[in-house]
Amino acid sequence: MKEKYKTMHNVFDEFTNRNLYKLINEGHFKGLVGQLTLGKESNIFIAEKDDGQKVIVKIYRLHNCDFNKMYDYIKYDPRYVNLKKKRREVIFAWTQREFRNLMLARDAGIKVPTPYTFKFNILVEEFIGDESAAQRIKEQFPENPKEFFEDTVNSIIKLGKAGLIHADLSSFNILNYHEKPCFIDFSQATALNNPNDDDYLERDIRNLCNFFKKRKFDVDESKVLNKIRIQIKK
């Protein structure tokens, strides 16, 4: 089993390593095979199952992540009204919240990684890609920007109708998977009844439009935002 336990043992604390080992024993994957990205709050790895299938293992760091910022997002979530502002409790709730948000988005018909399981600060989800991981749109701009942009806006509307705003949407969090958008990183996704919901929506649309404008695709931010607001309310 030690040979299968490719977890880069010295990278994480003992608590995280123990839970990675438990996930291995439960059959969710046989070991981590390489780091995909290093996020602001997490390390994201590719892992393999016994049948060779790839999965993503996202590990929120327990000691050097901004749990105060996490709490500012999660404190208005009705699912976590009794959450205490304690580092580990917030990080564990944050991980569970991303799992639940991904499930909600998937059920709403949005292309996202299917979440498989979570344990404390570890989330296991679907690998998006073929032989290699799908690229973010900042790295692989769509061949048909108009169609891709429209698909992205439609996904934002579907998410809104399901009661969520991504709240961290940018060229870093949209994958180009076979020329279709796939949204990732749902830990910040926020319910529409959040007092900052409209600010988050505006920021998402601003980020999206600015990115496409820089790539010489002309979009009108105010028109896009107005369309989304109208469609969400229908």
| CA 68 – CA 202 distance, rounded (Å) | 23
Tell me the catalytic residues.
168, 185
Instruction: Pick the closest to residue 122 from 63, 58, 47, 54 (CA basis).
Output: 58
- Scanning the structure block, which residue is given the tokens 């010295």? 10
β-strand partners of 44: 37, 58
CA torsion angle 24 29 33 39 (round to 10)? -90
Residues whose CB is less than 8 angstroms from the CB of residue 126 and which lie 6 or more positions away in sequence, other chains included: 55, 56, 113, 114, 115, 116
